[in-house]
Structure 1
Amino acid sequence: MPHEVQGVVSRAKGEPVSLEAVVVPDPGPGEAVVSVKACGVCHTDLHYREGGINDEFPFLLGHEAAGYVEQVGEGVTDLEPGDFVILNWRAVCGTCRACKRGKPWYCFSTFNASQAMTLADGTKLSPALGIGAFLEKTLVHAGQCTKVSPEAEPAVAGLLGCGVMAGIGAAINTGAVTRGDTVAVIGCGGVGDAAIAGARLAGARTIVAVDMDDRKLDWAKDFGATHTVNSRGKSEDEVVEAIQDLTESFGADVVIDAVGRPETWRTAFYGRDLAGTVVLVGVPTPDMRLDGVPLVDFFSRGGSLKSSWYGDCLPSRDFPMLVDLYLQGRLPLDKFVTERIGPAGVEGAFASMHRGEVLRSVVEFG
């Protein structure tokens, strides 16, 4: 029988979210119902509320989640009730051109549940990133469930579902940071600090954290930054010079822009060494334009300019590995959890996020 649970819903652009009754149907073919235990409050959820993704209101928010499989639908063979899973929004199809080329982390046709979750009056909800997990139970495609060790705490494991994976993957998968590299990370929120943690895990010898907030720079040190640069009041050229000063005057081998603004990208471009790599993982808004970079500089500086989608991750490969590293004490995922709240606290968590007071607020369910 369908379940009726309380969920966090965004009804209109810019309006505060509300807790409302949500109807979750039994799983159909290829689907699963997951009992959500924890879900991080991500900037993407705020983008949905602000109309920055699309206008398909009302939205059922939440997507950085972990929990236990409760029911599976017809044809699901690799999940069973009781499995501990992290939800992901890259359920690879196996048949698109990226998958056929052996690059499933670029899958262009990922799966979502076919059935809709609804409000009590039957209004269809648009689940954030095809998940919608600010509620006690959610309906997803079975491919969106990645099994990991049940020894991991849900509030910690769930963060791999989006922002933390994006940052770690930007360093390890997209940037290909390796032993002895020098790395600079611009923007030290959750994604930037995850990139710092990833660079440290990969063996970078120098990791420069750049931000305008001393509190965030202190957080960056906890994740492995060896040096910090407060960019407040500094020009782009001054920040570039500061990065160069900390990397033997050359610039960093890999610079990761976790902000996604023209000025931070230009800083990343000029803050790298010759033939170095720029990784853009911060998400720009559609109106932003890149100006002031002569075309000859793209040629003469060489190297790679990359965008990182979801940290170029393959959930089935990366989630279990990163959870195991966390359980071994080699990856401090627990440090991303700033506060634990109930679903009624999501709107307040958005305000804390906007003020830069948290890395992650995590909604917990009983």
Structure 2
Amino acid sequence: MAQTVRGVIARGKGLPVELTDIVVPDPGPGDAVVRIQACGVCHTDYHYREGGISDDYPFLLGHEAAGIVESVGDGVTDVVPGDFVVLNWRAVCGTCRACKRGRPQYCFDTHNASKKMTLTDGTELEPALGIGAFADKTLVAAGQCTKVDPAARAAAVGLLGCGVMAGLGAAVNTGNVGRGDTVAVIGCGGVGCAAVAGARLAGAAKIIAVDIDAAKLDTARSIGATHTVNSRETDPVEAIRELTGGFGADVVIEAVGRPETYKQAFYARDLAGTVVLVGVPTPEMTLELPLLDVFGRGGALKSSWYGDCLPSRDFPVLTDLYLQGRLDLDAFVTETITIDAVEAAFHRMEKGEVLRSVVEL
């Protein structure tokens, strides 16, 4: 039977979000209903509200979430009611050309629930990243549910669902940071700080955090940066070179998504070094680089989508590392809030006052 629960929606560009009643249908084949315990407030949700993703209003916001599986549809075998899960927006298909080549982390045909959640008047909702977790319960594809150890704190491990995994994976999966490497991270918001944590986890010898905000640099140092550079005061390329014996970093992770900072990342790497773009640019941005410099410096220029993660592989391992005290996910939870405080959390996020506000239900 369909259920009516609370959910946070965006009705139009620039309008404050609204807490209202939504209808969650019974799960169809391959679906699962999940009772949400915690959901992080991510920049992507703000972009949805502002029309930066699409104009398919109304949106049901929220996607960095953890909760308990309540019911499943026909054909679901990987999760059962009662499982503690972290939600993800990469439910791999298993049959596309990437999956068949053994690269499911690049699945080209990820999928969502077979049914739509609605407002009480029947208006269909577009769930953020196919999840819609600023709600008491949500309907997702069962493949979007990844079982993890239920001893973990939902507010912490739920962040693996997007921002933390994106940054950590940019270092570990995309950048292939190894023991003894030098790493620079440009932009120390939630994703950038997660990249710092990933570089530390991978055994990097030197981790240089770059930002224009002193408070963010302090946070990056507390998470694992060995050095910080305030690029409002210092040329970051020169500073990174000075800290790496004049050579540049082995891996530079750009977590801003702007042409200016990408160029800094490009020139701040060592010869044959790697640049990883995990910051999300806007459609109108363009990049111009001398082609001879691209050729002459060698190495790799990579983009990282969701940290090149495979949730079924990465989420349980990272949860275990969290429970062992080797990955401090709690450090990313700046505050916990109630479901009616999402709009205020957006304002704090835009001011750079938080790594993550997390809605607890």
Q: Report what 2:287 is aligned to.
A: 290
Q: For the residues of structure 2 that align with 1:187 and 1:13, how far apart are their CA atoms?
A: 27
- TM-score by length of structure 2 reads 0.99
Residue 64 of structure 2 is aligned to residue 67 of structure 1: no
Deviation at 1:191, TM superposition (A): 0.2
Q: Report what 1:269 is aligned to.
A: 266
Q: For the residues of structure 2 that align with 1:131 and 1:169, how far apart are their CA atoms?
A: 21
Q: Report what 1:180 is aligned to.
A: 180
Q: Secondary structure at the match of 2:334?
A: strand
Q: Secondary structure at the match of 2:167?
A: helix
Deviation at 1:222, TM superposition (A): 1.1
Deviations 1:290-331 (A, max 9, x none): 12x211000000000000000000000000000000000000
What is the percent sequence identity of the aligned residues? 73
Q: Report what 2:275 is aligned to.
A: 278
List structure 1 runs of 4+ shifted beyond 6 angstroms. Answer: none
Q: Report what 1:46 is aligned to.
A: 46
Q: For the residues of structure 2 that align with 1:246 and 1:52, how far apart are their CA atoms?
A: 38
Deviation at 1:80, TM superposition (A): 0.8
Q: Report what 1:32 is aligned to.
A: 32
Residue 15 of structure 2 is aligned to residue 15 of structure 1: yes
Q: For the residues of structure 2 that align with 1:96 and 1:14, how far apart are their CA atoms?
A: 37
Deviations 1:157-191 (A, max 9, x none): 10000000000000000000000000000000000
Alignment length (residue pairs)? 361
Where do residues 202-213 of structure 1 align in structure 2 (5 Å cutoff)? 202-213=202-213
- Give ranges in structure 2 of 5+ residues lacking alignment: none
Deviation at 1:60, TM superposition (A): 0.2
Deviations 1:67-124 (A, max 9, x none): 0000011111121110000000000000001101110000010110010000000000
Residue 334 of structure 2 is aligned to residue 338 of structure 1: yes
Q: For the residues of structure 1 that align with 2:320 and 2:219, how far apart are their CA atoms?
A: 23
Deviations 1:39-76 (A, max 9, x none): 00000000000110011100000000000000011111
Residue 247 of structure 2 is aligned to residue 250 of structure 1: yes
Q: For the residues of structure 1 that align with 2:98 and 2:92, how far apart are their CA atoms?
A: 10
- Give ranges in structure 1 of 5+ residues lacking alignment: none
Paired amino acid for 1:259 = V
Residue 329 of structure 2 is aligned to residue 354 of structure 1: no
Q: Report what 1:103 is aligned to.
A: 103
Q: For the residues of structure 2 that align with 1:47 and 1:133, how far apart are their CA atoms?
A: 16
Q: What is the RMSD computed on CA atoms of the aligned residues?
A: 0.6
Residue 257 of structure 2 is aligned to residue 260 of structure 1: yes
Q: Secondary structure at the match of 1:33?
A: strand
Q: Report what 2:57 is aligned to.
A: 57
Q: For the residues of structure 2 that align with 1:289 and 1:233, how far apart are their CA atoms?
A: 26
Deviations 1:194-246 (A, max 9, x none): 00000000000000000000000000011100000001154xxx210000011
Where do residues 294-313 of structure 1 align in structure 2 (5 Å cutoff)? 294-313=290-309
Deviations 1:1-32 (A, max 9, x none): 11101100000011110001100001111100
Where do residues 185-204 of structure 1 align in structure 2 (5 Å cutoff)? 185-204=185-204
Q: For the residues of structure 2 that align with 1:216 and 1:64, how far apart are their CA atoms?
A: 21
Q: Secondary structure at the match of 1:228?
A: strand
Q: For the residues of structure 2 that align with 1:316 and 1:227, how far apart are their CA atoms?
A: 33
Q: Report what 2:126 is aligned to.
A: 126
Q: For the residues of structure 1 that align with 2:3 and 2:37, how far apart are their CA atoms?
A: 16
Q: For the residues of structure 2 that align with 1:319 and 1:130, how far apart are their CA atoms?
A: 18
Q: For the residues of structure 2 that align with 1:70 and 1:319, how far apart are their CA atoms?
A: 20
Q: Report what 1:5 is aligned to.
A: 5
Residue 319 of structure 1, aligned match among 310, 315, 318:
315
Q: Report what 2:112 is aligned to.
A: 112
Q: Report what 2:237 is aligned to.
A: 240
Q: Report what 1:94 is aligned to.
A: 94
Residue 170 of structure 2 is aligned to residue 170 of structure 1: yes
Paired amino acid for 1:97 = R
Q: For the residues of structure 2 that align with 1:328 and 1:210, how far apart are their CA atoms?
A: 29
Paired amino acid for 1:297 = D
Q: For the residues of structure 2 that align with 1:245 and 1:33, how far apart are their CA atoms?
A: 53
Deviation at 1:352, TM superposition (A): 0.2
Q: For the residues of structure 2 that align with 1:146 and 1:84, how far apart are their CA atoms?
A: 8
Q: For the residues of structure 1 that align with 2:233 and 2:209, how far apart are their CA atoms?
A: 16
Paired amino acid for 1:85 = V
Q: For the residues of structure 1 that align with 2:60 and 2:9, how far apart are their CA atoms?
A: 5
Paired amino acid for 1:40 = G
